Amino acid sequence: MEFERPWTEKYRPQKLNDIVGREHIIKRLNSYVNKKSMPHLLFAGPPGVGKTTAAIALAKEIFGEYWRQNFQETNASDERGISVVREKIKDFARTKPIGGDFKIIFLDESDALTSDAQNALRRTMEVYTSTCRFILSCNYSSRIIDPIQSRCAIFRFGPLSNEAIKIMIKKISKEENIDLKEDGLEAIAYVSEGDMRRAINALQASSGIGDSITESLVYQVTSRARPEEIKNMMHVALSGDYISSRKILQTLILEQGLSGEDIIMQMHKETFNLEVSDKEKIMIVDMIGEADFRLVQGANEFIQLEYLLANLSLGKR
């Protein structure tokens, strides 16, 4: 079947040296390639800054043609229970490496593992250390228990610079024969906030809609991504019309299938775009935080989110 890949995959750097904007990290990783050996690694940083790319590229360079056999990728946020560590990871760690001295387990979003699972992981790391190395990636290294941190070499991936984003976007545009305008490039770099995945997706999305990538097109596309309904819902609530905002909430949850967690997250993001005073914004953040906490405790997202909307509508009164 004919298909088109997302450009984040099509242009994912295959070699360490192809990765842009990560010179210091690449230098250290290259030394592992030269030695054909490495300790356990911990990659910390926000999404879209090259953690997975670096891990895959490292495996390819160390293992060459056998990289597929010696590299396993597991996502901890999708399978966060202790059973993942006990079964899936252990099973892989147990088997012998092919054509090399060790194999690599890449555990993405490992900060999503429960502390029980992390403790189990710590043991696994020790027991199989002769045949197996771990690369743990996480958004926040503070969520990784100390004993694991102390067993790893830590690499911090900050948000990518605008320059790095621009280099990549220009490269892709050239390959794809896209008419990329200067202001379009600036806009992509701006909306990406240092997240390469977001930048490339914005480029590909824009290319699906218009022939040449301009500033206005980029903003149009990225605002399409922004859930306008949530912003609208907040506006309606803030204007004091609790009943209408409640109806919007019901549509979001029941008809569009958004989770309470999604909505809270978006509401938090949108708070900073609201046309209210900064003082009020802080109050709203506090309310959202309380609702988030209640959502974790509370049984029903309807009731908690409705209460949040009620609070917002009260603010104006």
Partner 1 sequence: MLVEKYFPKNFSEIKGQQAVVKSVLAWINTWGVEKKALLIYGPPGSGKTTLVKVLSKDLGYDLIELNASDKRDQHILNRIVGNAASSKTLFGYKKIILLDEADNIHGKEDFGGSKALLEIIKNTQNPIILTANSYWEVSQSIRDNSKLIQFKKLQSRTIFSRLKEIALAENIVSDEETLMKVAEQAGGDMRAAINDLDSLGKKLVKGDEKLIGSRDTETSIFEALSKLYMSNSIDVRKEFFNVDKKPEELLLWINENTPKAYKGNDLIQASALLSKSDIYLKRAFNTRNYSMWKYASDLMTGGVSVVGKTDSRYIPFSPPKYFQILGSSKKKREMKKKILEKIGKKCHCSKNVAKSYLPMILALFLNPKKGALIANFFEFDMEEIKFIDEKNYRKVILAREELLKEPEKMEKDRVIPKSSEEKIESKKEFSKEKEDQKLKKEINQQKTLFDY
Residue closer to partner 1, measured from CB, 128 or 197: 197
For residues 274 and 271, what is the distance between their CA atoms, to the nearest angstrom? Answer: 5
Report the 10 Å Cβ neighbour count for 231. 17
Q: Cα–Cα distances in Å, from 177 out to 184, 267, 280, 285?
A: 15, 38, 47, 44
For residues 250 and 239, what is the distance between their CA atoms, to the nearest angstrom? Answer: 18
Total residues binding partner 1 (CB under 8 A) = 61
Among 24, 146, 277, 299, binds partner 1 (CB under 8 A): 299
Dihedral Cα 140, 144, 148, 152, nearest 10 deg: 0
Length, in residues, of the chain: 317
Contact flag: residue 68 with partner 1 (CB under 8 A): yes
Q: Which residues are within 8 A (CB) of 164 and not within 5 positions of it... i.e. 6 or more apart?
A: 20, 21, 22, 196
Contact flag: residue 252 with partner 1 (CB under 8 A): no
Report the nearest approach of partner 1 to the CB of residue 154 (Å): 21
- DSSP string computed for 70-99: HEEEEETTTS-SHHIIIIIIHHHHHSPPSS
Contact flag: residue 61 with partner 1 (CB under 8 A): no
Among 92, 190, 219, 242, binds partner 1 (CB under 8 A): 242
Contact flag: residue 66 with partner 1 (CB under 8 A): no
Report the nearest approach of partner 1 to the CB of residue 254 (Å): 4
Residues of this chain that bind partner 1 (CB under 8 A): 1-6, 8-9, 14, 47-48, 52, 56, 65, 68, 73, 75-78, 108-109, 112, 197-198, 201-202, 204-206, 208-209, 221-222, 224-225, 242-243, 246, 250, 253-257, 259, 294, 297-300, 302-304, 306-307, 310-311, 313-314, 317
